Chains A and B, each alone.
Chain A
Amino acid sequence: MQRYSFLSLCRHALGQHRGWAPVWRTRPLRDRYSAIIVGAGGHGLAAAYHLAKDHGITDVAVLEAGWLGGGNVARNTVTIRSNYMRDESIPFYVKSVAMYEALTRDLNFNLMHSRRTMIDVLQTWGMVRDRRRRRLIMDIYGSTYRDIDVAELRRRIPALTGGGPGSRLPILGAAVHTDAAVNRHDAVAWGYARAADAMGVEIHQQTPVRTLLRGADGAIAGVETARGPVRAPVVALAVSGHTTTLTETVGLRLPLRTINLTAFVSEPVKPVVDVVVNCPDLGVYLSQSDKGELVIGGATDLGQSFRRDIKQSVFEDTVAAMLELFPAFRRLKLMRQWGGHLDMAHDASPIVSATDIAGLIVSAGWWGGYKAIPAGGAGLAHLIATGRPDALTAPFGLNRFRHLDYVIETGTTTAR
């Protein structure tokens, strides 16, 4: 793997940048591997990286229907945070946030990771209570929430001029989550892919998996792809939104349904907001990218959807909510909008788990899964390598549904 640094950039500049090698290789698809990961998105690539790095397992094929990094990792709002409410969730996300902080160095790839701070704007007493409960339990796990008053909020975010005393929902206070960060989503996928490839993992793009294959003993035997069958004793699915499409091919039923989340960006403007602003009472959150675009996310579409766009009504609701707090943004222009689909579990918490089919592993149910990529990938790799979940992902097994022991993050924030 070519090292990246300012010096290497200068050296290559002398050669007109003709000396850069491919960041990942295209290799022939073999008919057998020790493990198959379906889906070269954030979770799949992170799992491949950790399989090689933590467990020394490199005889791995990552099979991707389209282009690597093309799933939800390509279309999310990159909010990284750990402000959860349950003992099951907080330590997992705290770990994931910490892993992200070190990831630029670990991958030798600039993820442009920016510890940007998230500020929750609180406009109902119910939300004030919710954030206090989070703050007190998060402290146990080293994640922080700090209350600030409205004057401090307005000092930190001068563009936030709405929510005044006479407004529809006057701002009551704010909570600052300093652990929150944003980074560059494509870089995360590419950085993991480059590092995994360098350790010997094979990434096969344009290789859609049609069906899963079971052996005579009922255990997983591999997958049937558009390029032919590929065999492996362990198959892990990291195919957000399409998990059930694949598991249905072997009759496995999972408590998942596929839904849509909306996001859109404004035209690029000079710096105006330097934190992630989350408005849970109104249902909108935003941050400003390094390119200057405001990246805005909000409500989910109603009903199941495998589309990558969002209904107009849902989108308009989110725009109106943003303008309640940022009235000057009326003059700002929408540049691009899209949706991402993901599968949501019955209790809305993730699933990283073995299944009733021996050798078949799923990582699914991620909504807001971007922040979970490092720890989720490491957990998935652990499960693939050892057959057992690690401590942080253990609460997210499918077996919790056997007795309906849901992991319910009540009043989860808008920011995914």
Chain B
Amino acid sequence: MLVLDCPFCGPRNESEFAYGGPALAPRPADPSAVSDADWVDWLTVPPNPMGEVEERWWHLRGCGAWLTVRRHTVTHAVTEVRLGR
């Protein structure tokens, strides 16, 4: 049970949030202009470091904001929580 410090609501238990997957790069503005390989890479290859990773969390049972959380995949230490991307 992590504690995530929502910019709107303050520190809250993980149980108030829904995990929304790893933070991908911004979706290409015009996917048809992107090569097949680049599209597949964007879609299927998330960063997977033994270290800090950015991921999306939805404050579902709180303010409803989508947040980007920077969390360490070994220590669980959370070093940043920000609104949106």
Direct A–B touching in the complex (beta carbon < 8 Å)?
A: yes
* Chain A residues proximal to chain B, CB less than 8 Å: 242, 244-245, 253-258, 302-307, 311-313, 343, 346, 401-402, 404
Give A239 Cβ to nearest chain B Cβ, in Å.
12
Q: Smallest distance from the beta carbon of B45 to chain A beta carbons, Å? A: 5
In the bound complex, do residue B73 and residue A304 qualify as a contact, i.e. CB atoms below 8 Å apart?
yes
Q: Which 8 A-B pairs have the closest CB atoms?
A: A255-B44, A302-B19, A346-B44, A313-B1, A244-B48, A253-B45, A257-B48, A306-B73
Bound-state CA distance A311–B14 (Å) is: 10
C-beta contact mask, B33-52 vs A, less than 8 Å → 1, else 0? 00011001101111010100
Q: How far does the Cβ of B11 sit from chain A's closest Cβ, in whole Å?
A: 16
Q: A257-B22, A305-B73 are in contact. Are A401 and B48 (CB under 8 A)?
A: no
Number of B residues near A (Cβ < 8 Å) is 22
Whether B45 and A254, one on each chain, are in contact in the complex, defined by CB atoms closer than 8 angstroms, is: yes
The answer to whether B74 and A256 have CB atoms under 8 Å apart is: no
Of all chain A residues, the one with the shortest Cβ separation from B19 is A302
Complex CA–CA separation, A311 to B48 (angstroms): 19
Q: Find the A residue at minimum CB distance from B15.
A: A313
Note all chain B residues with C-beta closer than 8 A to A302.
14, 19
Q: In the complex, A202→B13 CA distance in Å?
A: 49
Task: Give the interface of B toward A (CB within 8 A).
Answer: 1-2, 14-15, 19, 22, 36-37, 40-41, 43-46, 48, 50, 53, 55, 71, 73-74, 76
A343: chain B residues within 8 A (beta carbon): 48
What 5 new A-B contacts, CB under 8 Å, besides A257-B48, A302-B19, A303-B19? A255-B45, A258-B50, A305-B73, A306-B50, A402-B36
Chain B residues with Cβ under 8 A from A402's Cβ?
36-37, 40
Once bound together, how far apart are the Cα atoms of A52 and B67, in whole Å? Answer: 51
Q: Which residues of A contact B55 (CB under 8 A)?
A: 303-304
Min CB distance B81 to A, Å, is 14
The distance from the CB of B31 to the nearest CB of chain A, in whole angstroms, is 13
Instruction: Please give me the residue from chain A that is nearest to B2 by CB atom.
Output: A311
Which residues on A sit within 8 Å (CB–CB) of B48?
A: 244-245, 256-258, 304, 343
A192–B19 Cα distance when bound, in Å, is 39
Once the chains bind, are A304 and B74 in contact (CB under 8 Å)? no
Is A257 a contact partner of B46 (Cβ separation < 8 A)?
Answer: yes
Task: State the CA gap A306–B52 with chains docked (Å).
Answer: 11
Closest CB in chain B relative to A247 CB, distance in Å: 10
Closest to A316 in B: B1
Shortest CB–CB separation between residue A299 and chain B, in angstroms?
A: 12
CA–CA, A303 to B22, complex, Å? 7
- The distance in angstroms between the C-alpha atoms of A368 and B47, with both chains bound, is 23
A selection of 24 A-B contacts at a CB cut-off of 8 Å is A242-B50, A244-B48, A253-B41, A256-B48, A257-B46, A257-B48, A302-B14, A302-B19, A303-B19, A304-B22, A304-B53, A305-B74, A306-B50, A306-B73, A307-B73, A312-B1, A313-B1, A343-B48, A346-B43, A401-B40, A401-B44, A402-B36, A402-B37, A402-B40
List, in ascending order, chain B residues with CB within 8 A of A305's CB. Answer: 73-74, 76
- Residues from chain B with Cβ under 8 Å of A255 in the complex: 44-45
- Are B36 and A258 in contact (CB-based, < 8 A)? no
CA distance in complex: A307, B77 (Å):
12
Q: How far is the CA of A124 from the CA of B33 in the complex (A)?
A: 45
> What residue in chain B is nearest A345 (Cβ atoms)?
B44
- Residues from chain A with Cβ under 8 Å of B46 in the complex: 257, 304
Taking a contact as CB atoms under 8 Å apart, the answer to whether B1 and A307 are in contact is no
User: A369 vs B15: C-alpha distance in the bound complex, in angstroms?
Assistant: 29
Residues of B within 8 A of A245 (CB): 48, 50
Q: Which residue of A lies closest to B13 (CB)?
A: A313
